[in-house]
Amino acid sequence: MRVLHTMLRVNDLGPSLAFYVDVLGMKLLRRTDYEGGRFTLAFVGYGDEASTAVIELTHNWDTKSYTLGDAFGHVALGTDDIYATCDRIRKAGGKIVREPGPMKHGTTVIAFVEDPNGYKIELIESKR
């Protein structure tokens, strides 16, 4: 068994796709509109779904907004240079909500960015 994807419900698919594709550099892997069910599924990721976990963005056409629960934490992405990644994200219009630095009570360098829906994305610098 392996992790296939994580699903996030999004308010507006356009800005969400722009964030994950243009700001975070993921690829839109597939998108399907379900007219009868009035929803769209868009899968984004850094690699092929056959070999890597991806994110499923679910847009329910008739739902304008969601209340983020306090049980969900974040999605984590690894990066070789967290400072350069944060600079690139900031220049692309992304919102850094925790600047890069060591995690509390540890030495791993992390940062957090927020998507247009308020979901947190943790960036974790790879150990060199």
| Overall pTM > 0.95 | no
Domain residue extents for the chain = 5-60, 75-125
Instruction: Please list the active-site residues.
Output: 122
Q: Which residues contact 75 (CB under 8 A, 6 or more apart)?
A: 6, 8, 55, 119, 120, 121, 122
What lies within 8 Å, CB to CB, of 36 at 6+ separation is: none
CB atoms within 10 A of CB 113: 23
Fold match flag (5-60 vs 75-125): yes
Confidence (pLDDT) at 1:
82
- Overall fold of domain 75-125: 2,3-Dihydroxybiphenyl 1,2-Dioxygenase; domain 1 (3.10.180)
Please state which architecture CATH assigns to domain 5-60.
Roll (3.10)
Q: Per-residue pLDDT tens, the chain, 128 aa: give them.
A: 889 999 999 999 999 999 999 999 999 999 999 999 999 999 999 999 999 999 999 999 999 999 988 888 999 999 999 999 999 999 999 999 999 999 989 999 999 999 999 999 999 998 76
